[in-house]
Structure 1
């Protein structure tokens, strides 16, 4: 099953590894010696989930979160590694229920910043004093506000962070003082205000800050000295960069990927502009110069809103020639399609397909207003964006009716089902992976710790009439499009019953449906053998229906 995560000790000779079975995401904790590989299991409660580990400064104990208490709410715990004894240190308060995690530890190891999610687009920060056990609220606001990547500076008085409580609703660099909820944005011209910052890293010695800037989906790294504000040269790479961890020598380690470049780790020295690739992903003998770069495009939707998308065209494409096309729907929905490395994209492209990856209303990366345009009662407006995407492809001669398919996973799987029920004549084939068919049963059966976060996005269970109105299962009799359904038996997010419901409904109505239900997978397909089975099945499925003689 592989591992879910790992967290290195400050000395680097030990690691906490999180691992779960069969895609369940119920991670258990293991202590691993990084030199010998010896390991010791620290937790063994398969019904509980553990994670978000932070090491104590002496490497003798750890802090982490778990929902072992009731399966729903996450509490913060401390564990002594010598004897395995644990202590609950934060969250045992009826006003602090829900999902909480450790966002940062102070330099002296005496304080933790705790983040508590109120929804996927709203959180609050708390400061926990470890010696006394006392905690205080750091933030206070009246709306949906995100406070991300907070770092308590060595004086234990000032906090660097990202926040979107500004007129544009974009995550920007800011600072706060402990004891005041006021957020002060850094408006010194370092970051272009058109773009959002989606991550921030401060070096261990608090000398450097690195931010990842989201430029229409592309990720750029920018770094500077915190005290002098001297900007450092950025790595000369174009694509998806993340991380930006400085060591004591002033060199920076980061990951880099792109549409034609699988993820690898690189090192950059701003002082002498030395760039070194540290890892080398295998391409299994495939010539990556044959891979295709996308083009950033946009089109107008039903209400004239401009919708961004990435357009991939097969090699040798001749303008105005219709080719088989796949519309790709990302998950989330508060997510964003970004031009990283997608192995299956390149396979489809090299086999004559075009792909349009859409970032409809509701996507992140474009500010709070755009992100919230599909909330609750506006759910179907994002589907109308996908309809506009197909109209745009046809109007520009890229494809034609009978040659267009749609595929997506998780929330993107719902989009697939929503599109073939709302627009039954639009697509010639569709593939839904781990998608929602029935919002009511989805909310009833998803893991308890996820339910309130999803109700904030899709609507409350108390409004079951609306949930059923937007559920594809209620219109399954309209489905004409051949459908491939892919799901994992152990999915804790979108239970496999969602797949079984839509499969049964289509079969009962005499429709065309095929399926892949993996007994050893969860929310997605992670095992290599299963991935190959899935990709082969999808490719053959779309070939069958989109490459018919016209």
Structure 2
């Protein structure tokens, strides 16, 4: 089943033009490439680059032009190029795109596109700080809007195209800051406040910003904030869950998402928060919204546990939903996918861990009955949602029950929960793995036949679990995980270090704790077999993190397998590599977990 699922194609939605055409990403060729979808669902592939890419239309251009963001082998050193769409033309290769911003030593991140300009952030000044640049597409002239340091997350151009609102990472854990640059520069939010602000947009008159924010509250609400940050008006809020919003280009409306138990319920609201219309979809899942330039409609990519990703066009006035791509049509006949149940798992210190449980089908391998895998998300300030995950479904299809938790430190469950693993609380998050293990018998699982699977921070959690709780876990699959928080911080890309230290601790002041929280410190306790996957070009978690844990396993004679991919970065972006790594990792686990429980 795993190879069947890995053959499924993934979609992304990047932009919509004035005629309703959707600029999408599609990985049928093996990596995510640009595809244009006509309103009737017909498609034309635009790029055939060596690595995955994304893009945006140049508004109003004729013939149509697209700005492309692409890297080399997953190294995240983004370069910007341009293509002109010619109907019937073969996809553009790397040597056929027009270079726009190219310097392979640095990253250039596409932030926004207007009819005349490209706005991007870049670390080329000192390889660390991200500056915000406006480039005139016709002349190549560049204007620096911001160069005062920090890691830029997003920028949004004002309607008069004279200012930008910038969202940057804060040095406070789980926080961002917002400021304006251009003709109206200045801070909007307090850099010392522990608060996160996302989805920033300009009001219609460019006199305020609209955003999702947990400023002064537990759960993120939709707020209107004056440019000087003095006035905060709540437009829409809930007492028990978080809200996100995507504001229309003319700032007359917004699509609001209510995040509850790993799914997103959508509705269109007027810009003052008044409900306009609910958006009713075929299945519950999580959506990604891109508005059309005239604000009449929006494209919506929705993923659910049993839908790899469908694309809809939604009328912003009536809420009418038109299917452009039905992701379920590519599911082969006879493939039955698992729908999760929702749980709250108690911990010894009185917390409750949100957790989704995926059960195998009735025809599952009886030798794997009772076996389980804990699938841990990355981040750490990320979250697991009820969306399609090929690994989760493949494991369930093989006969293994999969638990997908949002351990403390996860996003989506309020400000308090996301802060419960900061710095010296890191090991409280690791302790949640043990609480989940203790809970397994309550849902009929054999605790002696449970293993861990995770990528990035989830990979760290795998390594922490098998080294710090060696008696609990039968095996682990670590994908681009950190084996030492000390060497990870020493060797990660310079532009990321300060913002990782805000979560894990600082090398100068917290080294002793970083050593204590590092899996490699506890290698003398490790006895579980490990399967390790890493990309050679990973700029976030260097390959050395995998190499040092594998060397230690070899020295101790512990069973292990290592797969390193020369054309990958932080994770596996190419289908050929996923089809090589994931079936082998699942076979590794099924062999171990199908053994009888100890003492049986």
Matched, 1:174 2:223: yes
- Distance of aligned partners of 1:142 and 1:87 in 2 relative to their CA distance in 1, 3 Å threshold: closer
Q: 2:102 aligns with which of 33, 38, 44?
A: 44
- Distance of aligned partners of 1:14 and 1:247 in 2 relative to their CA distance in 1, 3 Å threshold: closer
State the Cα distance separating 1:89 from its structure 2 match. Answer: 2.6
Name 1:394's counterpart in structure 2. 441
Q: Within 2, Cα distance between the matches of 1:8 and 1:212? A: 25
- Distance of aligned partners of 1:288 and 1:250 in 2 relative to their CA distance in 1, 3 Å threshold: farther
Matched, 1:62 2:118: yes
Kindly indicate whether the alpha-carbon contact (under 8 Å) linking 2:174 and 2:418 is maintained by their aligned counterparts in 1.
no
The gaps in structure 2 that reach 5 residues or longer are 1-49
Name 2:268's counterpart in structure 1. 223
Name 2:181's counterpart in structure 1. 128
Q: Within 2, Cα distance between the matches of 1:228 and 1:337? A: 28
Matched, 1:140 2:211: no
Matched, 1:23 2:79: no
State the Cα distance separating 1:102 from its structure 2 match. Answer: 4.5
State the Cα distance separating 1:167 from its structure 2 match. Answer: 3.3
Kindly indicate whether the alpha-carbon contact (under 8 Å) linking 1:421 and 1:472 is maintained by their aligned counterparts in 2.
yes
SS at match of 2:404: strand
Is 209-218 or 244-253 further displaced after alignment? 244-253
State the Cα distance separating 1:284 from its structure 2 match. Answer: 5.5
Q: 1:184 aligns with which of 229, 233, 245?
A: 233
Q: 1:161 aligns with which of 190, 211, 220?
A: 211
Structure with the larger RCO, 1 or 2 (CA within 8 Å, 6+ apart): 2
Name 1:34's counterpart in structure 2. 85
SS at match of 1:374: coil
Kindly indicate whether the alpha-carbon contact (under 8 Å) linking 2:268 and 2:316 is maintained by their aligned counterparts in 1.
no
Is 226-235 or 282-291 further displaced after alignment? 282-291
Name 1:348's counterpart in structure 2. 395
Matched, 1:108 2:160: yes
Name 1:516's counterpart in structure 2. 563
SS at match of 2:419: helix
- Distance of aligned partners of 1:437 and 1:356 in 2 relative to their CA distance in 1, 3 Å threshold: same
Report Cα offsets for 1:391-438 as digits up to 9, x if no partner: 11124322231x211100000000000000111121111100000001
- Distance of aligned partners of 1:82 and 1:539 in 2 relative to their CA distance in 1, 3 Å threshold: same
Q: Within 2, Cα distance between the matches of 1:180 and 1:274? A: 37
Q: Within 2, Cα distance between the matches of 1:70 and 1:481? A: 43
Provide TM-score, normalisation by structure 1.
0.92
Q: Within 1, Cα distance between the matches of 2:457 and 2:168? A: 23
Kindly indicate whether the alpha-carbon contact (under 8 Å) linking 2:112 and 2:118 is maintained by their aligned counterparts in 1.
yes
What does 1:325-364 correspond to in 2, within 5 Å? Answer: 325-364=372-411
State the Cα distance separating 1:54 from its structure 2 match. Answer: 1.5
Kindly indicate whether the alpha-carbon contact (under 8 Å) linking 2:121 and 2:131 is maintained by their aligned counterparts in 1.
yes
Matched, 1:78 2:134: yes
Name 1:384's counterpart in structure 2. 431
Name 2:457's counterpart in structure 1. 411
State the Cα distance separating 1:498 from its structure 2 match. Answer: 0.2
Matched, 1:305 2:347: no
Name 1:211's counterpart in structure 2. 256
- Distance of aligned partners of 1:452 and 1:4 in 2 relative to their CA distance in 1, 3 Å threshold: farther
Report Cα offsets for 1:476-507 as digits up to 9, x if no partner: 12110000011001000000000000000111
Q: Within 2, Cα distance between the matches of 1:21 and 1:267? A: 32
SS at match of 2:425: helix
Matched, 1:245 2:321: no
State the Cα distance separating 1:465 from its structure 2 match. Answer: 1.6
State the Cα distance separating 1:179 from its structure 2 match. Answer: 2.8
Q: Within 2, Cα distance between the matches of 1:228 and 1:339? A: 27
Indicate the RMSD between aligned Cα atoms, in angstroms.
2.2
State the Cα distance separating 1:270 from its structure 2 match. Answer: 5.9
Name 1:505's counterpart in structure 2. 552
Kindly indicate whether the alpha-carbon contact (under 8 Å) linking 2:170 and 2:176 is maintained by their aligned counterparts in 1.
yes
Kindly indicate whether the alpha-carbon contact (under 8 Å) linking 2:455 and 2:479 is maintained by their aligned counterparts in 1.
yes
Is 279-288 or 529-538 further displaced after alignment? 279-288
